[in-house]
Amino acid sequence: MSELPLEDFYCIIPAGGVGSRLWPLSRADAPKFLHDLTGSGSTLLRATWNRLIPLSGEQRVMVVTGRAHRAAVEEQIPALTDENVVLESEPRENTAAIGLAAAILERRHPGVIIGSFAADHVIGNEPLFRAAVTEAVAAARAGYITTVGITPTEPAVGFGYIHVGEPLTVSGAKSVRKVVSFVEKPNLKTAKKYLAGGDYLWNASMFIAKASVLLEQIGTSHPEMLAALLELAEAWDDPATRGPAVDRIWPSLTKVAIDYSVAEPAAAAGKLAVVPGHFNWDDVGDFASLAKLNSSGRPTDLAILGENARVLSDASSGIVVSQTGRVISLIGIKNVVVVDTPDALLVTTSENAQRVKSVVEALRLTGSTEVL
C-alpha cells in the first residue's frame, strides 16, 4: 500500500444539498452536512474532513459550498484557507461544483489527481476506506475515472447500484474492476437479485480521477460547460477577475448531477473503474436510515438523538430527534418518527420517511419558507 498522504492527491468535498428528507432537522441554513447525526460529537462535514486528511494532507482538501454556509464551514474546519474554499453564488448541482474545483486544481497543479467525496455521508472502519481510496487513486493514475462502490449488506432500495464487470490489471489496485453500468434505485425484488448475484455495489458517489480526465469527460457530454469551467478557473486566482467571471459564468452553468454528466457516459465508454469498499457506509438519506444508524444495531431500539432529550415511549423502533428539551410521550405507534424542533414538528413513520421531501415542497408552496 502506498504511503499516506498520497502523492499529488487532492480531495474535493462538495457541501451542497440541504437534505430535504431530513426536514425539519435539516434546513436551508442548517443543511445535513452541518449536523452531528451519529452522536459522535462531529458534524458530518467535520467527520468527512477528518476522514480525508490522512489521504491528502490538510492543505489538499477543497470544500465547495454555498456563500451562506461560509462561516459555518470555516467554524467546522478552522484549518481551511481561502485557497481551499470554493463558494457557490447559487447552487448549480455537483457537476459544476466538482468540475470547477477540478479545473482550479488542474490549473494550479497540472496532472493532479482529485477525489470527490460527499460531505454528508457516514463511513465506518476508516482503514478499509483508506485502503479502497488508495487503490482508486492508483487506478486514476493509470487513467481511469474510478469510483469506490460499497459491498451491499442488504437489498437496499434507497441507493443506486454499480454493475461491476471484469477485473482490470492496474499496479497498486489489486481489486479494481471495470464498471458495466450505473443503475438507478431498484425495487426490492431487483435489489435482492443484485445482493445475491454479487456483481452489484452501492453507488456512494465517490469519484477519483486525474482532474484533466474528469474535465475531459465533462467536455465529452457538455462541451460548453467545460469551456465555461476552464474560463472560470482561469479567472479564479486573481481577485480582480474572479468576481466578474463568477457573476457572468456561474449562473449559466448546466445543472446536472455528476452521475449523469460523468459516471454514466464514462461507464458506457468503458473508461470507468470501481474499487469495492468493504467498510460500512450510509448516505443517511432519510429518517428511516437515521433511525437504523442510531439504534445501536438493535432493530428493536427506539433511536433518540438530542442532548437534552426527555422521551417516554412504548415504541421499540423508530426515532426521536429532540432539539427542545420538551417531554415527548409516544404511545402505540410502530416505527414512529418524531422530529421536535423549536419552530417545526414532524410526526411520521419510517415507512413514510421518503415522503418527507413532499412536506418541504408543500411548505414552500404554502409560503411557510421561514421553517425550511
| Least distance CB 343 / a copy of itself (angstroms) | 5
Q: CB under 8 A: which stretch of 1-9, 70-78, 85-93, 353-361 binds a copy of itself?
A: 353-361
Q: Binding pattern to a copy of itself, positions 311-350, x when CB under 8 A?
A: -x-------------xxxxxxxx--x-x-x-xxxxxxxx-
Residue whose C-alpha cell reads 452489484 in the numeric block? 200
Phi-psi sector, 198: left (phi>0), alpha (psi -120 to 50), beta: left
| Least distance CB 318 / a copy of itself (angstroms) | 10
Assigned C-alpha cell, 320? 426521536
Query: Strand 85-88 vs strand 61-66: parallel, antiparallel, or unpaired?
Result: parallel
| Least distance CB 333 / a copy of itself (angstroms) | 6
Q: Which is nearer to a copy of itself, 116 or 322 (CB)?
A: 322
Question: 15 with 62: CB under 8 angstroms?
Answer: no
Q: Binding pattern to a copy of itself, positions 261-300, x when CB under 8 A?
A: ----------------------------------------
Residue 42 gets which letter from DSSP? S
The site for a copy of itself, by CB under 8 A, has a size of 32
Torsion of the alpha carbons at 233, 234, 235 and 239, rounded to the nearest 10: 90
Strand partners for 338: 320, 347
Pick from 16, 24, 66, 186 the residue near a copy of itself by CB under 8 A: 24
Asked, as a colleague might, if the bond just before 342 is cis with ω within 30 of 0, I would say no
In 3D space, the residue among 140, 120, 115 whose CA is nearest the CA of residue 53 turns out to be 115
Cα separation, 348 vs 67, in Å, equals: 33
| Least distance CB 26 / a copy of itself (angstroms) | 14
Q: CB under 8 A: which stretch of 66-74, 99-107, 150-158, 362-370 binds a copy of itself?
A: 362-370
| Least distance CB 358 / a copy of itself (angstroms) | 8
| Least distance CB 154 / a copy of itself (angstroms) | 23
Residue 71 found at the interface with a copy of itself (CB under 8 A): no
Residue 355 found at the interface with a copy of itself (CB under 8 A): yes
Please tell me whether residue 112 adopts helix, strand or coil conformation. coil
Assigned C-alpha cell, 52? 480525508
- Angstrom CA distances, 370 to 96, 113, 364, stand at 28, 41, 9
Element (H, E) at 49: helix 44-56
| Least distance CB 303 / a copy of itself (angstroms) | 15
Pick from 82, 240, 366, 367 the residue near a copy of itself by CB under 8 A: 366
Q: Which is nearer to a copy of itself, 9 or 23 (CB)?
A: 23
Cα separation, 316 vs 83, in Å, equals: 48
Q: Which is nearer to a copy of itself, 204 or 328 (CB)?
A: 328
| Least distance CB 29 / a copy of itself (angstroms) | 16
Phi, psi (5° rounding) for residue 142?
-80, 0
Assigned C-alpha cell, 98? 466538482
* Interface with a copy of itself (CB under 8 A): 24, 310, 312, 326-333, 336, 338, 340, 342-349, 351-352, 355-356, 359, 362-363, 366, 368, 371
